[in-house]
Structure 1
């Protein structure tokens, strides 16, 4: 088992992910590189354009974005995956500037909730499709030492640093999830 250090939650690679629920709406789930990060805090300035290629516009949007934990994102999965995105982390309220998406829910073959026998915490197993596994291996191979974000409905659910190329097309979200929270995350990811 290889472990990837995470900022918000831990994402580890685990062999033997079972077949679980299919992702029905690929736009709800995206994988994007992390270009910048601001801690949660008071929003400063007027709300700005959250999807721009202009660095000054991106910075202004990040500083003006209010990110109260647990609040749904106004974009709710309607962000353009080809453009950078200024968004929030949904539990702690940190703000991120993310690059264009390199994978989506369409690249995920199955997702399922399980129980980590070592910790007793809930986990979410992810298995990529064959084409998704190829994209994942290529991206991780070219971005060692870089962070990426797992984005659900335009909000960050996890950020991770890549330490090695990952070629088997499997990964697992872990953290302090209860089994109920892991099942809820699977329902959100696989909702159609």
Structure 2
């Protein structure tokens, strides 16, 4: 997915009251490997830039170690990730979005691909803009409602194989199990993000 950095900052998560939980359109994707996708809170975001310092411990619980590891992380597209999905979901994670170059310090995972029923890209009928919709399972919807309710205004990272796909901001508590990721997407970009989230 190729989106300008300004567009990434505008990504938001919102609920969608008109959706029927559990139903996906013909363009929807089911998460193929539930262990690949993890939802982690964003603790810190660092801007893009060249790596500075020696590679550090990316799953430390020490804030100073986390920041040093984030500054040293090479986020250039195509750079191999030493963790490559072997991160411990119970520990914090230093990661990046290789498309945008932003570096993140993330908290422990609180949801996984097993909590997502389906993902799809579609047009918002109100605005005509492309968006990505996620539908959570019943258990996932309960956790998501609690987490979003307590973290309005904060970012959440959707991580696949230790890399951040997107880190939108929570706009409100999302209590119905259906979430929209909105931003300055083209439809091909939204479709690619939906496929990447689902591992399709």
Q: Provide TM-score, normalisation by structure 2.
A: 0.81
Superposed counterparts of 1:109-148, under 5 Å: 109-148=117-156
User: What's 1:3 paired with?
Assistant: none
User: What's 1:41 paired with?
Assistant: 49
More strand by share: 1
User: What's 1:21 paired with?
Assistant: 29
Deviations along 1:23-71, whole A, 9 cap, x unmatched?
Answer: 1212222111111121111211111121111223212111111212465
The alignment's C-alpha RMSD in Å is: 2.3
Deviations along 1:123-149, whole A, 9 cap, x unmatched?
Answer: 221000000000011112222343322
8 Å Cα contact 1:7/1:158 also seen in 2: no
Shift of 1:11: 2.5
- Tell me, what secondary structure is at the counterpart of 2:104? strand
Shift of 1:154: 2.0
Match of 2:178 among 165, 170, 177: 170
Bigger shift: residues 125-134 or 17-26: 17-26
Distance in 2 separating the partners of 1:176 and 1:70: 24
CA 1:180 to 1:163, structure 2 compared with 1: closer, same or farther past 3 Å? closer
Superposed counterparts of 1:1-192, under 5 Å: 7=9, 9-15=11-17, 16=19, 18-19=23-24, 20-69=28-77, 71=79, 73-191=81-199
8 Å Cα contact 1:22/1:109 also seen in 2: yes
8 Å Cα contact 2:15/2:173 also seen in 1: no
Shift of 1:105: 1.0
Shift of 1:120: 4.2
Shift of 1:75: 2.7
Shift of 1:108: 0.4
Distance in 1 separating the partners of 2:49 and 2:10: 16
Structure 1 residue ranges without an equivalent (≥5): 1-5
Distance in 2 separating the partners of 1:137 and 1:49: 32
Distance in 1 separating the partners of 2:140 and 2:113: 9
Distance in 1 separating the partners of 2:165 and 2:10: 8
